[in-house]
Amino acid sequence: MASAAVIFDLDGVLVDSEEAWNAARQEVALSHGGQWPAEAQRVMMGMSSTEWSRYMHDELGVAMSPKQISEGVVSRLQALYREQLPLLAGAVEAVKRLAAQWPLGLASSANRPIIDLVLELSGLEPRFSVTLSSEEVPRGKPAPDVYLEVARRLAVAPERCAAVEDSSNGLRSAAAAGTKVSAVPNRAFPPSGESLALADEVLDSLSELSPDVVRRLFRARRRGP
């Protein structure tokens, strides 16, 4: 049994995907009678697929069932990723560095088909011991469910897991689960100052995410209130 582990988020941490999600959701919304207010993408960041598809149906007025909305967005995103996977600079190297030291988990709000496609196209699938979509737990981020379940499947206590997150809801989810939290703030949709204060470590980029940083995380006291 491992004594510690590292859990990555996917969107905005390993893949520069928030703008792609935004484009795919906006296209589905506007082509099926819905609206697209400026805050829509930020509101949906961290939601599970069941949550954001319901939000698009109920709040944005998209004239499709939530299941159809989710399938339509995923199909569009899969096509975009197969054309060109927008891996963030340093993502593959960061995963490899940490996988050499600790078991890795993935706690993502993305749909399961998107998670599997990204890991396949990037060649990173063998590096992760556990991968989980928030659609596979009762509540999406900012609830702690997805992090707690990944830690359980890794057989590592949450407080001995280091999470790598980029968004407000992701940071809140990881902190609520009791993990140590490293923030690599999303540049397109930066986290709030209140959420960023929950991080034990704030990095400018994945190139800074080293085994030494993770060891420092495990020694850190929780920041914030």
- Hey, which residues are catalytic here? 9, 11
The residue type found at 65 is S
For β-strands 5-8 and 130-133, DSSP reports them as unpaired
Q: Could you tell me if 76 and 27 are in contact, meaning their C-beta atoms sit under 8 angstroms apart? A: yes
Where are the strands (E) in 57-189, listed by range?
104-108, 130-133, 161-165, 180-183
Using alpha carbons, select from 21, 167, 20, 11 the residue that is nearest to residue 91.
Answer: 11
* Cα dihedral 141, 144, 145, 146 sign: positive
| C-alpha count within 13 angstroms, C-beta hemisphere, residue 195 | 20
Q: What is the DSSP string of 11-69?
A: BTTTB--HHHHHHHHHHHHHTTT----TTHHHHHTT--HHHHHHHHHHTS--SS-HHHH
